[in-house]
A and B are shown apart, each in its own frame.
Chain A
Amino acid sequence: MAQEKEHKFKPEDTQTVIGAGVKVEGKFMAIGDVVLKGELSGTLDTESGLYLEEGAFINGDMTAKNASLAGAIKGNIKAQDRVALTKTAKIKGDLECQILSIEAGAIFNGRCAIGRTEDVIPEEKKA
Chain B
Amino acid sequence: MYLYLYDSFLVEQKYRKTIDQIETRSTDLGINGRTIRLTILKNAREVIKDNLRDEIDTVVVIGSDKLFSESAIALAGTEVALGFIPVGESTLADILDIPKSVEACDVVSGRRVQKIDLGRINGQYFLNSIQIDSAKVSIKCDDLYQIIPSGSIKSIKITNLDWLNFTLSEPDITLEKRASLAKDGLLEVIFSKRPRVTFPLFKKIEQKDSLFYIRKIQFHVLGDREIMAQVDNERILKLPLIIEVIPNCLKLIVGRGHLI
Contact = CB atoms under 8 A, between A and B. Distances in A.
Interface of A: 1-4, 6-7, 9, 13-33, 35, 38, 42, 51, 53, 68
Interface stretch (B1-9, B10-18, B180-188, B234-242): B180-188
What is the size category of the interface that chain B forms with chain A? Answer: 35 or more
Find the residue from A7, A13, A27 having the highest chain B CB count within 10 A.
Answer: A7
A2 B211 contact: no
A111 to B, nearest CB: 27
Given A21-B153, A24-B147, A35-B173, A16 B111 contact: no
Contact of B110 (A2, A13, A19): A2
A19 B146 contact: no
B145 interface: yes
A13 B170 contact: no
A22 B153 CA distance: 8
A25 B148 CA distance: 8
A17 B166 contact: yes
A16 to B, nearest CB: 6
Given A9-B185, A25-B146, A26-B145, A15 B209 contact: no
B210 A51 contact: no
A116 B114 CA distance: 44
30 contacts: A2-B112, A3-B113, A4-B112, A4-B113, A7-B181, A9-B184, A14-B181, A14-B186, A15-B173, A15-B177, A16-B211, A16-B212, A17-B168, A17-B211, A19-B208, A20-B150, A21-B152, A21-B191, A21-B210, A22-B150, A22-B153, A22-B191, A23-B150, A25-B146, A25-B148, A26-B146, A35-B175, A38-B210, A53-B170, A68-B172
B149 A21 contact: yes
B146 A24 contact: yes
B219 interface: no
Contacts of A7: 181, 183-184
B144 interface: yes
B175 A2 contact: no
A81 B183 CA distance: 30
Interface in B141-174: 142, 144-150, 152-153, 166, 168, 170, 172-173
Interface in B79-132: 110-115
A22 B148 contact: yes
Nearest to B248: A6
B66 interface: no
A53 B150 CA distance: 18
Interface in B195-242: 208-213
Contacts of A9: 184-185
Given A17-B210, A18-B210, A42 B145 contact: yes
Sort A-B residue pairs by CB-CB distance and give the 5 closest, nearest first: A26-B145, A19-B209, A19-B210, A21-B209, A7-B183
Nearest to A38: B210
Contacts of A28: 144-145
Nearest to B181: A13
A111 B150 CA distance: 35
Contacts of B166: 17
